Amino acid sequence: MSIAVAPTLACQKSRFRLDEGAHFLNCAYLGPLPRSVAEAGMDGIREKLSPTPFPSAAFFTDCDRARERFGRLVNADAERIALIPSASYGLAVAARNLRLERGQNVVILGEQFPSNVYAWRRQAAAHGGDVRAVERPGPPPSGELWNERLLEAIDADTAVVALPHCHWTDGTRIDLEAAGGRAREVGAALVIDASQSIGAVPFDVERIRPDALITVGYKWLLGPYATALGYFGPRFDDGVPLEETWISRRGSEDFQGLVDYTDQYREGAARYDVGQTSNFILIPMLIEALDLILEWEPARILEYCRVLLEGLAEQLRGRGWAIEDEAWRAGHILGVRLPEGCDLAELEGRLAAARVYASLRGDALRVSPNVYNEPRDIDALRRVLATFA
Ligand SMILES: Cc1ncc(COP(=O)(O)O)c(C=O)c1O
């Protein structure tokens, strides 16, 4: 029996318009727009120069296309997808609809991105609950132990487990199947901010079974800023949105009947859509970006990044830089902690001089390539790092 193996992905640099003299290794910060995504936005602008004709159906068709694409990407029904403007927005929807009782807790990861922290802090303060942050148990490699501590922190008083798929500063991987299993054992909801993984890491809603899954569109999905997507599972079917938009009400497709007010929302997660959902510039861009990701496939994107970074981690670890073990690190983000006594400001200056773009987050240098990068970008980084102890 032969097993079908997807061919590896070739470098996609020609689909982008990156500065030739720069080494952009910072997708975890801001994903560059592919040319065709920018074109889709410009088409949207051109159409609004003279909106004739502009049928009312256009307010819905592209939104539904975006839902369908994202649903396909994460293996979920399009109806369960909401179109939102930011991760904070989606996480605020989740927090608003997952009430805590006095004495209950929300388990999060230490130093998690703030979009997945503040909404829980408010909710806990309002209801006499508590946010339990599970801190990294020590310098890397400590991913395995961190995951164990995370499971231990989920107990009978846990109402929500709110996690990323991998840590935003250094790519430490969270075993979401294990965390989800433990959450279900105690009846807690699982909420995931996958802003630093979806697009570059496969995600299967059927397998991980989150109650809510949120991601921004502007990083690994290579879409425009101010776009984000949310999957909301059955726990949210009768929930309350952040806004009371007319377009999320049942029958809103009939523009003649908008003043036949109704208390009913549209089917599915559309009730959580942001006002002015049908952004005629951003939504077509998001659709084009999702089409590219679906064409390239997250598994192949991840493998492309992993191969690019192969060897760098070993080389640096041998010279005293602290790096998470491969088994507990997502392949598209490499966080390296500088050896004792290294000057971060000096490193920043040398990277800038070599036009190597990566992020310094805390005491880690975060390197996050994507399909437009070539080995020469990693070589440029390697040369700068070689000038340090
Ligand atoms: C894990 C994670 N979540 C969310 C965001 C952005 O959140 P928001 O859309 O609320 O600005 C970032 C940005 O760096 C992030 O790293």
Q: What is the pTM of this model?
A: 0.97
Does ligand 1 lie within 6 Å of residue 279's CB atom?
no
- CA 195–ligand 1 middle distance (angstroms): 6
Asked if the structure places residue 287 within a domain, the reply is yes
Asked if the structure places residue 258 within a domain, the reply is yes
Asked if the structure places residue 41 within a domain, the reply is no
**Three-state SS at 216:** strand
Does residue 221 sit in the same domain as residue 342? no
| Residue having the nearest C-alpha atom to atom 6 of ligand 1 | 87
Does ligand 1 lie within 6 Å of residue 108's CB atom?
no
Asked if the structure places residue 44 within a domain, the reply is no
- CA 258–ligand 1 middle distance (angstroms): 35
Does ligand 1 lie within 6 Å of residue 227's CB atom?
no
Does ligand 1 lie within 6 Å of residue 89's CB atom?
no
Tell me the two tokens of residue 102: 């006095």
Does residue 234 sit in the same domain as residue 145? yes
Classify each residue of 177-216 as buried b or exposed e, where b means 16 or more C-beta atoms within 10 Å of its C-beta.
eebbebbeeeebbbbbbbbbbbbbbbbebeebbbbbbbbb
Check: CB of residue 354 under 8 Å from CB of residue 348.
Answer: no
Does residue 89 sit in the same domain as residue 213? yes
Task: Looking at the CA of residue 164, tell me the nearest atom of ligand 1.
Answer: 1
Does residue 26 sit in the same domain as residue 126? no
Does residue 84 sit in the same domain as residue 230? yes
Q: Any idea what the CATH number is for the domain that residue 342 is in?
A: 3.90.1150.10
- CA 1–ligand 1 middle distance (angstroms): 44
Asked if the structure places residue 3 within a domain, the reply is no
Asked if the structure places residue 348 within a domain, the reply is yes
Give the domain-ending residue among 294, 325, 350: 294
- CA 53–ligand 1 middle distance (angstroms): 37
Phi, psi of 352 (to 5 degrees): -65, -40
Give the domain-ending residue among 294, 324, 358: 294
Does ligand 1 lie within 6 Å of residue 359's CB atom?
no
Does residue 58 sit in the same domain as residue 19? no
Q: What share of the chain is helix, strand, coil (3-state, %, to 5)?
A: 40, 15, 45
- CA 383–ligand 1 middle distance (angstroms): 30
Does residue 259 sit in the same domain as residue 180? yes
Asked if the structure places residue 263 within a domain, the reply is yes
Check: CB of residue 184 under 8 Å from CB of residue 161.
Answer: no
Give the domain-ending residue among 294, 312, 342: 294
Does ligand 1 lie within 6 Å of residue 197's CB atom?
no
- CA 22–ligand 1 middle distance (angstroms): 24
- Tokens 């010279």 appear where? 319
Task: Looking at the CA of residue 85, tell me the nearest atom of ligand 1.
Answer: 9
Does residue 197 sit in the same domain as residue 289? yes
Using most ligand atoms within 8 A of CB, pick from 89, 216, 274, 361 the residue to mutate for ligand 1: 216
Q: Any idea what the CATH number is for the domain that residue 75 is in?
A: 3.40.640.10
Does residue 274 sit in the same domain as residue 315? no
Phi, psi of 344 (to 5 degrees): -60, -40
- Domains identified in the chain, total number: 2
- CA 115–ligand 1 middle distance (angstroms): 6
Using most ligand atoms within 8 A of CB, pick from 115, 118, 229, 359 the residue to mutate for ligand 1: 115
- CA 162–ligand 1 middle distance (angstroms): 14
pLDDT at 133: 98
| Residue having the nearest C-alpha atom to atom 14 of ligand 1 | 29
Does residue 27 sit in the same domain as residue 97? no
| Residue having the nearest C-alpha atom to atom 3 of ligand 1 | 195
pLDDT per residue rounded down to tens, the chain (389 residues): 455 667 899 999 999 999 999 999 999 999 999 999 999 999 999 999 999 999 999 999 999 999 999 999 999 999 999 999 999 999 999 999 998 999 999 999 999 999 999 999 999 999 999 999 999 999 999 999 999 999 999 999 999 999 999 999 999 999 999 999 999 999 999 999 999 999 999 999 999 999 999 999 999 999 999 999 999 999 999 999 999 999 999 999 999 999 999 999 999 999 999 999 999 999 999 999 999 999 999 999 999 999 999 999 999 988 889 999 999 999 999 999 988 788 888 999 999 999 999 999 877 899 999 999 999 999 999 999 999 86
Does residue 19 sit in the same domain as residue 150? no
- CA 364–ligand 1 middle distance (angstroms): 18
Task: Looking at the CA of residue 91, tell me the nearest atom of ligand 1.
Answer: 10
Q: How far is CA 376 from the centre of its chain?
A: 27
Check: CB of residue 221 under 8 Å from CB of residue 113.
Answer: no
- Structural domain of 25: 13-34+297-386
- CA 222–ligand 1 middle distance (angstroms): 14
Does residue 19 sit in the same domain as residue 107? no
Does ligand 1 lie within 6 Å of residue 218's CB atom?
no
pLDDT at 258: 97
Asked if the structure places residue 275 within a domain, the reply is yes
